[in-house]
Amino acid sequence: MVNIVINGKSIEVPSDITILEAARIAKIEVPHLCYLKDINEIGACRLCVVEVEGEDRLIPACENKVREGMVIKTNSPKVRNAVRNNLELILSKHKAECTSCVRSGNCQLQDLANDYNLTCEYRDKDDNEKRLEKWNSEFPIIRDAQKCVQCMRCVSVCDKVQGMHVWDLVGTGSHSHIGVTGNRLIEFADCTECGQCITHCPVGALTERDDTKKVMKALADPEVVTVVQIAPAIRSGYAESLGIDPSVATVARLAGALKMMGFDYVFDTSFTADLTIMEEGSELIRRLQAGDLKKYPMFTSCCPGWIRFIESQYPELVPQLSSAKSPQQMFGALIKSYFAEKNGIDPKKIVSVSIMPCTAKKGEAELPEMKGESGAPDVDVVLTTRELMRMFSSERVDLNDIEEVPFDSLFGEYTGAGVIFGTTGGVMEAALRSGYYLVTGKNPDVDAFSDVRAVSFDDAGVSFKDVSESGKANWREATFDLAGTPLRVAVTSGLVNTRKLIDAILAGKVSYDFVEIMACPGGCAGGGGQPIHCDDVERGMTRGAVLRDIDASSAVRFSHENTDVQKLYQDWLGTPGSEIAEKYLHREY
């Protein structure tokens, strides 16, 4: 510990922290823009400069550690002047469109400009235009280089958390700017579409492709039957930006809001999460018994960011992926086949929408393998949680005034097992609960597989810092007894962790039968389509805990006990892995 004085306040703080962190302990907010703890500590923006007694020059608080006896001023006239000048410089190069920008209201630059009473003057427009690159407006990740403040956060997140190295400082001298590495087009840069760069960008330079107009058009067309599914992870965080009590923000109220907006049918993707478990669990047992997993494990297949990763980075392991489609795509296939037939609806008249915590799901829905018999996509439009919130806002939907409504029939039921799909370890746990039943005909203790659960990023082997530096593994592992057969499993999320796990598997250092991978740290609860906050707090695990609580209080916690799933098998699919199940619920790579 060291003793310091900050703005006249004497405090004792740990000796290994930065001035910025010490100021937080003293409840003094130091402005900052580029800093992201453990990820981006490069001192680029110079907005966090402070005055330290005995030093001539101002120093960035995010880069400098405290020392015994340090006397710091964070708000002297010299500091205020410097911060204001630095902020003006950033604003002069920023295309400020605060009235139409999707980040208006949760933009760190806008907050700072307001705090310092600065009007945004976009002076260097011509200079900025020279830096513009061509962008594919159809790609799920959209970049506006003229809004970029060159904080490097996207570069660091994509490098250090996802290991994909998509972004870098490109060009030279005054023309240097953040762009796709090697001057590649984004569609050829092996981007996994995970969206982590979006959720860590402090301004509106990175966003998802906005598909809300397509949905509004469908809702306004009386000839169209609109069907919407809500992913499990949405319920964990959708209310964060609405400023309402979390007890109001139930999934049933979300269903009510979607009905009020005019959707004809509202479903919960947790239903097809249960269906995925039936198909994937059966496939696991089949492949285990066939000796197919002796060399390499079977991998989960519900995360399209992970699928893009394995296809580009480890194509030789693609055959190890489960052939089960993701819950989103299973739902899409059901809607335009079984559901349409049962309700006498022409599938061509259906617009099938999904609300996902994910940007990669937009790309997944567009894959040629995800089209039905008519050639139309099974899921027509994918909206992120953020897009849905924008629609609520523009439609003046106030959750406080909405009645809770149940999901529509045929696929109305869901289990706690389906809900935990939205958090790291959840797919594995749900699969093991039902896998045990499929092998033994008996239910295990519902908490028998809790070793794959994680309660914190570190605990999950998923840190925004490289946990392996501290001697810990970057993944969780466990061995369970499946009717006398040991089943070795591993779980991780975040693609740097994933690469470490796969390299260890390929090197023969570890060996597993079944592995769950989610591209986003903490799983979909921390997904790239989830709400963004200016406080930079990583919410993946706390949102995941909400899903775990829902599971713990659910009346039904085994996917195979979902009565609507059982009816679907009795009425149409037959058994898991049947010919019809293969046709609609599985895919090829």
Query: Active site residue: 51, 193, 364, 561, which one?
Result: 364
Residue 369: active-site member:
yes
Q: How many CA within 13 A on the CB side of residue 481?
A: 4
Interface positions, 265-304, toward ligand SF4 (CB under 6 A): 303-304
Beta-strand ranges (E) seen in 27-181 are 49-52, 59-60, 71-73, 141-143, 167-170, 177-180
Beta-strand ranges (E) seen in 250-366 are 265-268, 298-299, 350-356
Please state, in angstroms and rounded to a whole number, the distance separating the CA atoms of residues 568 and 584. Answer: 13
Residue 133: active-site member:
no
Query: Active site residue: 21, 193, 283, 561, which one?
Result: 283
Q: Which of 254, 563, 572 is nearest to 418 (CA)?
A: 563
Please state, in angstroms and rounded to a whole number, the distance separating the CA atoms of residues 307 and 322. Answer: 11
62 binds ligand FES per the rule CB under 6 A? yes
Residue 364: active-site member:
yes
Residue 194: active-site member:
no
Neighbours of 129 (CB within 10 A): 11
Radius of gyration of the chain (CA): 25
Identify which of residues 37 and 165 has a Cβ nearer to ligand FES in the complex.
37
* Given 6, 47, 70, 166, the residue binding ligand SF4 (CB under 6 A): 166
State the nearest-atom distance from the C-beta of 45 to ligand FES, in Å: 3
281 binds ligand FES per the rule CB under 6 A? no
Only one of the segments 41-49, 132-140, 169-177, 323-331 lies at the binding site for ligand FES (rule: CB under 6 A); that segment is: 41-49
Residue 149 interacts with which of ligand FES, ligand SF4, none, CB < 5 to 8 Å by class:
ligand SF4
Identify which of residues 226 and 320 has a Cβ nearer to ligand SF4 in the complex.
320
Query: Active site residue: 107, 151, 302, 358, which one?
Result: 302
- Name the residue whose CB lies closest to ligand SF4: 527
Residue 465: active-site member:
no
Identify which of residues 157 and 266 has a Cβ nearer to ligand SF4 in the complex.
157
Residue 240: active-site member:
no
For the CA atoms of 86, 93, 37, 26, the dihedral, rounded to the nearest 10 degrees, stands at 30
Interface positions, 495-554, toward ligand SF4 (CB under 6 A): 518-520, 523-524, 527-528
Residue 413: active-site member:
no
Residue 283: active-site member:
yes
73 strand-pairing partners: 51
225 binds ligand SF4 per the rule CB under 6 A? no
Q: How far is CA 391 from the centre of its chain?
A: 20
State the nearest-atom distance from the C-beta of 409 to ligand FES, in Å: 53
Query: Active site residue: 55, 121, 369, 373, which one?
Result: 369
Interface positions, 188-217, toward ligand SF4 (CB under 6 A): 191-197, 201, 203, 205-206
Please state, in angstroms and rounded to a whole number, the distance separating the CA atoms of residues 325 and 256. Answer: 28
State whether residue 3 is helix, strand or coil: strand
Are 201 and 178 in contact, with CB atoms under 8 Å apart?
Answer: no
- Output the 3-class SS for 274-295: HHHHHHHHHHHHHHHHCCCCCC
Neighbours of 90 (CB within 10 A): 21
Tell me the site size for ligand SF4, rule CB under 6 A: 41
Residue 432 interacts with which of ligand FES, ligand SF4, none, CB < 5 to 8 Å by class:
none
Residues in the chain: 589
State the nearest-atom distance from the C-beta of 6 to ligand SF4, in Å: 28
Which residues form the interface with ligand FES (CB under 6 A)? 32-35, 43-48, 60, 62
Catalytic residue numbers, as ranges: 280, 283, 302, 322, 361, 364, 369, 524
